[in-house]
C-alpha cells in the first residue's frame, strides 16, 4: 500500500470519526433537556397518534447512526472547498437538532419548539441537497431522518394547536 492510499484511508477514518463524535455530542446535548416525566409535559393534551415515549429512543438511535454515517461518507468524499461547506451544513443541522429539545422541554414552549423544528426541516433539506452534490448514497441515507423530523414537526404543530392556553 502506498503513502497516498494510506493518507486517503486515514482521512476517511477521520471524517467518519468526526461525524460520529459530533452526532453523539448532539444526542447527549439534546437528551439532557428532555424531561418526558415532568408534570408540564404529562399535562399537555397530546394527539392519539403520538408514539409512546419509548419509541423516540428506539427511532432516534438508528437515525443518529445514519446521520453519522452519511456525514462521514459525504465529508470524506467531498472536494476540499465543498468539504468545508458540507461540514458547516452538518454542524448547523446538529446544532438545530439539539436546540429543539431545549426550546420545547427546557423552555416549556411548544411554540418555540415548532420554530426550532421548522428550521431543522429547512436545514435537513439543505444538508441533503449539499450531500447530493458529493455523494448521492449519503444523501439518500438521510431520507428517514428528514422524514422523522417532518413527523416531529407535525406532532409539535398538533401540540401547539391543542395546548394554546398553556
pLDDT tens column, 68-96: 999 999 999 999 999 999 999 999 999 99
Average pLDDT (46-71) is: 96
pLDDT tens column, 131-144: 999 999 999 999 99
Mean pLDDT over all residues of the chain? 94
CA distances 40 to 43, 106, 116, 166, Å, are 5, 11, 19, 9
**Whole-number Å distance between alpha carbons of 91 and 111:** 24
- Cβ atoms of 86 and 74 within 8 Å: the answer is yes
Amino acid at each position: 500500500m502506498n503513502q497516498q492510499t494510506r493518507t486517503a484511508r486515514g482521512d476517511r477514518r477521520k471524517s467518519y470519526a468526526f461525524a460520529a463524535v459530533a452526532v453523539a455530542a448532539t444526542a447527549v446535548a439534546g437528551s439532557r433537556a428532555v424531561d418526558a416525566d415532568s408534570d408540564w409535559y404529562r399535562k399537555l393534551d397530546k394527539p392519539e397518534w403520538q408514539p409512546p415515549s419509548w419509541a423516540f429512543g428506539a427511532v432516534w438511535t438508528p437515525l443518529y447512526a445514519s446521520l453519522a454515517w452519511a456525514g462521514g461518507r459525504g465529508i470524506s468524499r467531498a472536494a476540499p472547498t465543498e468539504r468545508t461547506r458540507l461540514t458547516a451544513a452538518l454542524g448547523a443541522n446538529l446544532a438545530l437538532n439539539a436546540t429543539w429539545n431545549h426550546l420545547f422541554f427546557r423552555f416549556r414552549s411548544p411554540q418555540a419548539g415548532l420554530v426550532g423544528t421548522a428550521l431543522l426541516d429547512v436545514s435537513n433539506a439543505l444538508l441533503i441537497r449539499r450531500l447530493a452534490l458529493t455523494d448521492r448514497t449519503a444523501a439518500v441515507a438521510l431520507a428517514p431522518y428528514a422524514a422523522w423530523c417532518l413527523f416531529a414537526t407535525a406532532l409539535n404543530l398538533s401540540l401547539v394547536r391543542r395546548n394554546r392556553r398553556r
